[in-house]
Amino acid sequence: MPLSVPKLRFPTPKPPIALVEKMFDSHNIDFHPITILNWEAYPSAPNSLRFRIAHSKEELYLQFEVEEEVVRATYTDDETSKPYEDSCVEFFWMPADDDIYYNLEFNAIGTLLFEGGPTKANRYRFPNEVTAQIRRASTLGRDPFDLKEGPCFWRLTAAIPLSLFTLSPIPPLDGRCIKANFYKCGDNLPVPHFVSWNPITTEHPNFHTPQFFGTIHFNT
């Protein structure tokens, strides 16, 4: 059964991120676990890891909650960042009726890599003028740090205007089923990990695998 994506209604097209956080809670939007360890060489995972997702007519809303033993967040500039080397949560989806998929990868302080294209080798990276329109907040703040050890909980919330997905026309989301996946990684953590919501059966870690995306349904 597809994962259900509730529709939220706000008094403004681009609500403050604090209001988005409040709406997630007040509407009791369900959390979904990210638990799949796909590669035997990487058996590690965070202590707990889950996400929730919602949408409005104008935007997509994501929230991740993570508890892990070591947290890293060194990148601060979206356009030059490699958030997957830090403690990183990711959302990949194919919102149009074609082969274009988008990846949004956030480190633990919200620094973002935002790309789109048909394959891993053929990606367009969106510049800071675009990523600046994605509102986000982390419970760890925005200041970078190297390693924090000991069980550490963090929450990341993001509000993403649908108008930013510009590589091909996107039909309205209401009532549609769309292919997507959710991930957590940390390439440069002391013990790297690669965890997904929907299973992946490649030989080596690779999240750029739309053939293994799961299905999410956008409520009206």
**148 lies in some domain:** yes
Which tokens belong to 57?
Answer: 């007519």
Rounded CA gap, 58 and 119, in Å?
Answer: 26
Q: Percentage of residues in the chain with pLDDT exceeding 90? A: 100
Structure confidence at residue 8 (pLDDT) = 98
**40 lies in some domain:** no
Judge whether residue 76 has pLDDT over 90.
Answer: yes
> Distance between alpha carbon 134 and the CA centroid of its chain, in Å?
12
Between the CA of residue 140 and those of 83, 91, 154, 172, what are the distances in Å? Answer: 15, 20, 6, 34
**19 lies in some domain:** no
**35 lies in some domain:** no
Could you give phi then psi for residue 211, rounded to 5 degrees?
Answer: -65, -15
Mean pLDDT of 141-159: 97
Q: What is the residue-averaged pLDDT of the chain?
A: 98
What's the number of domains the chain is made of?
1
The tally of CA atoms less than 13 A away on the side-chain side of residue 141 is 4
Mean pLDDT of 120-127: 98
The DSSP symbol for 170 reads: -
**41 lies in some domain:** no
The answer to whether 71 and 138 are in contact (CB under 8 A) is: no
90: domain CATH number is: 2.60.40.1190
In this predicted model, what pLDDT tens digit does every residue of 188-210 receive, in sequence order? 999 999 999 999 999 999 999 99
Quick one: which H or E segment has residue 94?
strand 88-94
In this predicted model, what pLDDT tens digit does every residue of 10-49 receive, in sequence order? 999 999 999 999 999 999 999 999 999 999 999 999 999 9
Question: What's this model's pTM, rounded to 2 decimal places?
Answer: 0.97
**39 lies in some domain:** no
Task: Using pLDDT thresholds of 50, 70 and 90, give the confidence band for residue 1.
Answer: confident
Domain that holds residue 78: 3-7+47-218
Structure confidence at residue 62 (pLDDT) = 98
In this predicted model, what pLDDT tens digit does every residue of 55-67 receive, in sequence order? 999 999 999 999 9
**106 lies in some domain:** yes
Which tokens belong to 51?
Answer: 């996400």
In this predicted model, what pLDDT tens digit does every residue of 78-122 receive, in sequence order? 999 999 999 999 999 999 999 999 999 999 999 999 999 999 999
The tally of CA atoms less than 13 A away on the side-chain side of residue 207 is 27
Strands 88-94 vs 101-107: parallel, antiparallel or unpaired: antiparallel
**36 lies in some domain:** no
Taken as a whole, the chain contains a residue count of: 220
Structure confidence at residue 214 (pLDDT) = 98
| Strand ranges, E, within 95-190 | 101-107, 112-117, 124-125, 135-138, 145-161, 177-185
